[in-house]
Structure 1
Amino acid sequence: MAIYLIYAIIMVFAHPQVIYPFGDDAFENPAFRPLTITDRDVVLAVHEGTDDVAVLYFMGNGGALAYFGSSLNAHVAAGRHVVAMAYPGGGGIPGKPSELGLKRDALAAYDWLAADFSGDIVVHGYSMGTGLAQHVAAERDVAAIILDAPFVKMCELMTRAAWLPACYMPGVQRWDSAALVPRIAAPVLVQHGTADDLIPMRDGLRLAALMQDAGLDATFHAVEGAGHNDLARQPRYQGQINAFLGRVLE
């Protein structure tokens, strides 16, 4: 018991390094321009599209936008405006990530976009970024929500991986998406790979069921054979997004 208690205490302090293993690769895409919200030091990558829809994009815990080009290009190819938030500590951006800080920055990114854009705003999250997309949707007015490989509670994933009651331990960043569901009103598309071994598809199914039980227009799409990191490269990925947005934004 003493060894287990010491292990638990160590993990309380060490778990941010596990859930934020951000890469350093810089984002270099000529379709995007860098922009910093100076009063908050929030770094964005901005693509000016031709459509009347803007997508506010939140990446996974790779932490560098360079790794999420397939998701971003799906929106660029459709002509949408895209605003992607960089994360402090990743992609060469200085700073230290935390659940509280990332959620604060996500709202700042939305507020910046909403101040200048009069069309529909869609939030799109991938993996860890699904928690940010849902947080924004719970706090602000969005037209639609796209969730790729979402979790129900990140602390549950920690429990499975570390054999610790992470959801009940003080000092643990919980990332509880289930708690946000009652405050969400927009229609939702959940896409999850059947071969995802990082966040199992049962998490996406469970989250979609929670949303449906709450009365939300929540669509679940199982992407056959897709893992966690290649979901956005599957042939039907962009088509599912286009069909969903075409239906809910009519």
Structure 2
Amino acid sequence: MAKTALALLGVAALAWLAVCVLLYLQQRSLVYYPQFTRSDPAETDFSLDRGDAVLRGWIVNPGRGDALLYFGGNAERVEDNRDALADWAPARTGYLPAYRGYGASDGTPGEALLLADALALYDLVRQRHPEGGIAVVGRSLGSAVAAHVAAHRDVERLALVTPFDSMVEVARGHYPWLPVRWLMRERYDTASLLPRHEGPVLVLRAGADTVVPPRHADRLVAAQPRQPMVRNFPGAGHNDIHLHPGYDEAIAGFLR
């Protein structure tokens, strides 16, 4: 019996170790879903050559003095938000870039690359709007990207939709039986970055979110020295918050 128990324990330990190795090696496939977003480069409105990849995206309300930069979620076709962006901020030119590997952009996504790309995209928008204000909206994964931009650039207003404190904490919630802190390379530590932004912040919280449970938005808010404005949508899930009454007006009012 003792030998059998030890053998079973050994098998379980090996299986656990195999899952750890698999998570470490395949974590990007669990974070990024570009395969659902591919589009034709000929249908985009602007591009940015990053040397190792060309980023592409869409523009709404061209010719305005102020700008709005939007960063989407991990499986989001950002071009589907063109009408919404135009309505949120009719006085701003809106930019919807696709992450590298997404939409019509080249390359393969990864945290360091996406964050560096986001700063380069901001700089492109700044060149196009040298005297205007730049607001940033980020949703889900894009909330971490947007917070990074706001921590390193002059962002007039920052709206975060279904944000999280860090990708590591979200993963720990989903995989409490794994040593996620040691395994995660894609960390997106929003809570440590956001205090560097001194402008107004709006957090849109989905109360029924099972992908990024709302406790992560709550922790992000609680960690800030200057409390963000919070708009709660109690019945909203991670992927349908934009369908709930008041969502568009919350962002539009904040951007005004």
Per the normalisation by structure 1, the TM-score is: 0.86
> Would you say the 8 A contact 1:24–1:92 is kept in 2?
no
**Would you say the 8 A contact 1:61–1:128 is kept in 2?**
yes
Counterparts of 1:216-227 in structure 2 under 5 Å?
216-227=226-237
What is the aligned-residue identity percentage? 32
Computed over aligned residues only, the root mean square deviation of the Cα atoms, in angstroms, reads 2.1
Is the partner of 1:75 in helix, strand or coil?
A: helix
Query: 2: distance between equivalents of 1:138 and 1:12?
Result: 28
CA separation in 2, counterparts of 1:199 and 1:48?
Answer: 32
Preserved CA contact (<8 Å) 1:158 1:164 = no
Q: Please point out which of 73, 77, 93 is paired with 1:64.
A: 77
Per-residue CA distance 1:174-198 (angstroms, 9 max, x = gap): 1111121332212100001111111
What code does the residue aligned with 2:71 have? F
1:158 corresponds in structure 2 to: 171
After TM superposition, the structure 1 = structure 2 runs for residues 195-206 of structure 1, keeping only pairs within 5 Å, are: 195-206=208-219
- Give runs of aligned pairs for residues 47-86 of structure 1, distance below 5 A: 47-49=60-62, 51-66=64-79, 68-69=80-81, 72-77=82-87, 78-79=89-90, 80-86=92-98
Deviation at 1:35, TM superposition (A): 1.1
2:58 is equivalent to residue 45 of structure 1 = yes
Alpha-carbon separation, structure 1, partners of 2:213 and 2:222: 15
Deviations 1:36-55 (A, max 9, x none): 11244222222234654311
Q: Does 1:103 align with 2:115?
A: yes
SS of 1:43 mapped into structure 2: strand
Q: What residue is the counterpart of 1:94 in the other structure?
A: 106
List aligned pairs for 1:122-141, cutoff 5 A: 122-141=135-154
Give SS of 2:223's match. Answer: helix
2:31 and 2:105 map into 1 onto residues whose CA distance is 17
| Aligned equivalents of 2:233, 2:62: Cα separation in 1 | 27
CA contact (8 A) 1:124 1:146 kept: yes
1:173 aligns with 2:183: no
SS of the residue aligned with 2:185?
A: coil
1:21 and 2:39 matched: no
For residues 175-214 of structure 1, the aligned pairs below 5 Å read 175-211=188-224, 214=225
- How far, CA to CA, are the matches of 2:62 and 2:228 in structure 1? 27
Who is 2:241 aligned against? 231
1:145 maps to amino acid: L
Question: What TM-score results when the alignment is normalised by the length of structure 2?
Answer: 0.84
Task: Map Cα deviations across residues 139-176 of structure 1 (whole Å, 9 max, x no partner).
Answer: 1011010000001111112222233222233x621111
Cα distance in 2 for residues equivalent to 1:115 and 1:180: 24
| Residue of 22, 36, 43 corresponding to 2:47 | 36
The AA in structure 2 aligned to 1:75 is L
In the alignment, structure 1 residue 147 sits paired with structure 2 residue 160: yes
Contact persistence 1:42–1:86 (CA under 8 A): yes
Cα distance in 2 between the residues matched to 1:63 and 1:193: 17
